[in-house]
Amino acid sequence: MSVGHGGQILLSQPAFELARDLLPAELRLRDLGEHREAARATACCRYLFVCSLQDERDGLKYAAEGLALAQKLGASELAVETVAMQGMLAMGLGDAAEAERFANEALSLAQTSGSDTSMPLILLGEIARIEGKLEKARDYNLASLELFERHGRAKSASNRLNLGAIELELGNLDAAAGWLSETLEIVYPKQHYPHVASALVAIAVLALKRNQPTRAATLWGAAGKMRDDRRIPVQVGDRPFEAWVERQLQALPAAEQAAAQTGRSMNLEAVVEMAREICAGARGLTSAGAPAARGERPSGE
């Protein structure tokens, strides 16, 4: 037995035979017996995702193998995902042109095969955001979000987090607060700490823009501690954004900068509650409410 991506448990056939009568009725198992190449292709693609967060060059070594296996098996969805992941790796290496080439290749492959286009679209949105094309980035993320949820998947935290950051950069604070509040309510109960940390940083920006520097520094410190403890790297699309936040906080008086240390020692539940209050306050609400209508640009400050 071994553990797969996303908490999947992989069983050998002998282990399955021994455990067959003990398994709950609602448990779903997929026999990979004749499809070990599919399992290998999936593993390659999943490993590319890990590499996109940590070691992009190492990931490139597995990209060609994963894509070749997916194409050999006629697994179009997996092929699209693998090409999109190659784009993320290229983006991590600072090659925006190559990243965009992969993103467009993945989008074309998805459209030709009738596969889901949400992943290529979110990658194109990340590229547009890095290039400063914020309204284009918003359009890509809205399209990706609609497709993602139309297919009956769980709510997409990544799209919401991206949209919150984009609206912040556009100065649309009410819309940003809505998206970031939704993000937090999706990822915090699931303990998805990379997204929790990114959401806290974005909400720290919201606090800065609402003239709440002490709270901003507190959230920044809490997010930094979470990343340090869990070895969570800053994702590529967030690096320029977070560099800006750090510069803003470093310009604060020493007393307010000290709040970052307070954030590092706070209980996470208290930190999240502070983030919720900032989002609610930014919209003039007493509790979290719905974000501005999708695709509409509300007034800024």
- Give residue-wise pLDDT tens across range 61-88: 667 777 777 777 777 888 888 888 888 8
- Burial category of 167 from C-beta neighbours within 10 Å (exposed 0-12, middle 13-18, buried 19 and up): buried
CATH of the domain at 120: 1.25.40.10
CA distance 174 to 159: 17
Residue 18, pLDDT above cutoff 50: no
How much is the pLDDT for 86? 83
- Give residue-wise pLDDT tens across range 220-265: 999 999 999 998 888 776 777 788 888 888 888 888 889 999 999 9
Q: Are 165 and 107 in a shared domain? A: no
How much is the pLDDT for 34? 46
Tokens read off for 9: 């448990």
Among 86-100, 226-240, 258-272, 275-289, which range has the highest average pLDDT? 258-272
Q: Are 126 and 215 in a shared domain? A: no
Residues 6+ apart with CB under 8 A from 248: 208, 216
Q: What's the Cα-to-Cα distance from 141 to each of 93, 95, 138, 169, rounded to whole Å?
A: 22, 21, 5, 15
Is 4 strand, coil or helix?
Answer: coil
* Residue 127 falls in which region: left (phi positive, over 0), alpha (psi -120 to 50) or beta: alpha
Q: Are 70 and 200 in a shared domain? A: no
Domain count, the chain: 2
> In which domain, by residue range, is 37 found?
1-153
How much is the pLDDT for 200? 96
Average pLDDT over residues 165-170: 94
Q: Are 299 and 218 in a shared domain? A: yes
